[in-house]
Structure 1
Amino acid sequence: MSRQPLGTALVTGASTGLGSVYGDRLAHRGHDLILVARDAGRMEALATQLRAGTGRAVEVLPADLTDPAALARVADRLATDPVVTLLVNNAGMSMKGGLLDNGPAEVQRLIALNVTAPTLLAGAAAKAFVARRSGTIVNIASVLAVAPEAYDGVYSGSKAFILNLSLSLAGKLREAGVHVQAVLPGATRTEIWERSGTDLNAFPAEKVMEAGDLVDAALLGLDRGETVTIPPLADEAQWTSYNAARLAMGPNLSRRDVASRYRPTT
C-alpha cells in the first residue's frame, strides 16, 4: 500500500539554523520542499544534498522577506500553488542590543521580518488551505513570548505577536481542517546569536538546545496535534496552568463598570 502524498512544505529562513533542519527532517518524512531565504548558495547546497539523500523534489526560491515585492511573490506562491500543504514560518532576526541601542531602520527591519512577513505568509497560506480544507501552518515564536523581562522587548514582543497570531488562527481554522502550531524555542544553537552580536558560548551549556533536537521535538508536538509546543519545558502543567489562567481572565476583561479596586475611596 502506498503512503498518502504529503505534498510540498514551504520553509522560510531555510538557508541555515532551524530552517535548514526543518528542510532536512521534512524531506526525510516525504515532503517535497520549497526553500526560501536570501542566501541562494547555501540553499542550493542543501537542496542538492536533500535531493540526493531523499529523492524529494527541492526548489530554491531566493527572497529577502523584508522586501515587500519579494514577500508578495512568496505569498502569491502560497496562495496559488495547490501542492503546498505545509508552511513553516521560520525566518526571523534579532538586533545587536535593544531598542535604546538601535535606530529606526534596524527596528523596522526586525518588525518587517519577524511580524509583517510571517503574518502575510500565514494569511496567504490560511486562505488557500481553508479553501482546500486541509493544510498546516507552523509558526516559530520563542519562549520570550511569555518571558519578556528576559530579553529586549522588541524581539520578545515580535515573538509574542507570533504566539497570539497562532492561537487566534488555530481557533478559527480548526473546523476548516487546518492545523496551526506555534513552536516556542528557548536558547538554541543557531546563527541568529552571532548575527546579533551575542556569544552563545557564554551561556551555561545546559541552557542551550541543539537545533536538531529542537526541530525533532517540535515535529513530535506537531504529530500529537499540539497548538503550542515548548521543547525545553519539562513540566507541561506549567504551560497548562498559565494558559488556563489567561483564559479564565477572558470573561472579566471588558465590562461597563470600573473594577472596584480602581474606584476612589472616601
Structure 2
Amino acid sequence: MTQQTNKGTALITGASSGIGAIYADRLAARGYELILVARNETRLHEVADRVEQAHGRKVTIVQADLGERDDLARVEGILKSDPAITLLVNNAGFGGVTPLLESNVDRMEQMIDINVTAPTRLTYAAAPAFVARGGGTIINIASIVAVGVEILNGVYGASKAYVLALTQSLHYELADKGIRAQAVLPGATATEFWDTAGLSHANLPAAMVMRAEDMVDAALAGLDQGEVVTIPPLQDGNDWIEYEATRRALSQRFAHSMPGTRYLVAAAA
C-alpha cells in the first residue's frame, strides 16, 4: 500500500476505464485522494475498489453524463465548492474516424458537447476556485490530431485543437497566479476509444499503438518536467520546441493595417 503525503484531491473525468482509470491509479500512488466521474457507475466502483486496495486513498465516485447539462452542472459545483480539490483531469471524450460526408451531424454535436463544452465549463469552474485557493493543476487530454488534423475525423481534430489552444491560453493567463496547465497529446493508444470511434486499435500497426499505462506515465513525467504540452509518442522533444517557436514568430507578423502584397497584386489584376 502506497504511503505518501496527501496532495489534495484530484477530480478525473472519464475515469471508469482506459486512460482515466490509469490516471486514477497513478495519482493515488502520488498521494492524491480521488473523485472519479463517468457514466458507468459499475465500472467506477471497480476502479475505486482497485485504487483503494492498492493505495489506501479515499475515492469518491460521481456517476454523471457530461453531455447532459444537469450532470455537468453538478460536477462544476463540486469543483467550485470542494476546497480539497487541487487537480482536474479533463479526460472524458470520444472520437471518430469517418470523413465529413459519412458522419452523422448529431453525433458530431455530441462530440463537441463532450470534447469541447464539458472541459470548457469544468475549466471555468476549476480555474477561479484554484486561484482563490492559491494554486492548482488542470490537465487536459487532447490528441496528436490537434496538430495532425488530416489524421482522423475533422470534428474530432477540431475539438482537440480547441483543447490544445485552451490549455496554452490558460498557461499564458494563469501561470503567474499559481495555476499549472498541461495539454497531453496521445497518439494511437490501446484503449476502448478506438472501438467507440469505429476502428479497433487491433487493426492498426502494432508499432504505432502505445500502451495506455506508458502513455499516462509519460504524460505525468512531462508534468513533472514542467511541460505545458506533452506529446508522449514524439521521440525528439526539440521538434515541438522548434514548432512552437515558429508558430510564435508567425503570430507576431499579423499586425498590419494593409493586406499582404500578394493580395494587392491580385486585386489590381
What's the TM-score once normalised by structure 2's chain length? 0.95
Provide the rounded CA distance (Å) in 2 between the counterparts of 1:3 and 1:38.
Answer: 30
Aligned to 2:264: 263
Q: Tell me how far 1:196 sits from its aligned partner.
A: 1.8
Q: 2:88 is paired with a residue of what secondary structure? A: strand
Letter of the 2:174 partner, please give it: L
Give matches, 1:172-251, under 5 Å: 172-251=173-252
Aligned to 1:100: 101
Aligned to 1:22: 23
Give matches, 1:56-67, under 5 Å: 56-67=57-68
Q: 2:118 is paired with a residue of what secondary structure? A: helix
Provide the rounded CA distance (Å) in 2 between the counterparts of 1:235 and 1:261.
Answer: 36
- Check whether the contact 2:96–2:152 (CA below 8 A) recurs between aligned residues: no
Q: Deviations over 1:176-197 (max 9, x none)?
A: 0010000000000010101122
Aligned to 1:252: 253
Cα gap change, 1:155 to 1:185, in 2 (>3 Å): same
Letter of the 1:249 partner, please give it: L
Q: Deviations over 1:35-80 (max 9, x none)?
A: 0000000010111111111110000100000001100100110011
Cα gap change, 1:211 to 1:194, in 2 (>3 Å): same
Letter of the 1:18 partner, please give it: I
- Check whether the contact 1:98–1:154 (CA below 8 A) recurs between aligned residues: no
Aligned length: 265
Q: Deviations over 1:211-264 (max 9, x none)?
A: 000000000111111100001101111111111111001221232011112112
Letter of the 1:253 partner, please give it: F
Query: Tell me, which stretches of 5 or more residues in structure 2 are unaligned?
Result: none
Q: 1:256 is paired with a residue of what secondary structure? A: coil
Letter of the 1:23 partner, please give it: A
Provide the rounded CA distance (Å) in 2 between the counterparts of 1:84 and 1:110.
Answer: 27
Q: Tell me how far 1:96 sits from its aligned partner.
A: 5.7
Q: Deviations over 1:12-50 (max 9, x none)?
A: 000011000000111111110000000000010111111
**Percent identical across equivalent pairs?**
48
Provide the rounded CA distance (Å) in 2 between the counterparts of 1:145 and 1:230.
Answer: 11
Aligned to 1:87: 88
- Check whether the contact 2:5–2:31 (CA below 8 A) recurs between aligned residues: no
Q: 2:226 is paired with a residue of what secondary structure? A: coil
Letter of the 1:5 partner, please give it: N
Q: 1:261 is paired with a residue of what secondary structure? A: helix
Cα RMSD (Å): 1.3
Aligned to 1:71: 72
Provide the rounded CA distance (Å) in 2 between the counterparts of 1:50 and 1:201.
Answer: 28
- Check whether the contact 1:99–1:107 (CA below 8 A) recurs between aligned residues: no
- Check whether the contact 1:37–1:63 (CA below 8 A) recurs between aligned residues: yes
- Check whether the contact 2:164–2:183 (CA below 8 A) recurs between aligned residues: yes
Tell me if 1:110 matches 2:107: no
- Check whether the contact 1:32–1:57 (CA below 8 A) recurs between aligned residues: yes
Query: Tell me, which stretches of 5 or more residues in structure 1 are unaligned?
Result: none
Aligned to 1:138: 139
Letter of the 2:217 partner, please give it: D
Cα gap change, 1:64 to 1:10, in 2 (>3 Å): same
Letter of the 1:45 partner, please give it: E
Provide the rounded CA distance (Å) in 1 between the counterparts of 2:106 and 2:263.
Answer: 40
Judge which range, 196-205 or 33-42, deviates more. Answer: 196-205
Provide the rounded CA distance (Å) in 1 between the counterparts of 2:133 and 2:183.
Answer: 22
Q: 2:150 is paired with a residue of what secondary structure? A: helix
Q: Tell me how far 1:151 sits from its aligned partner.
A: 1.4
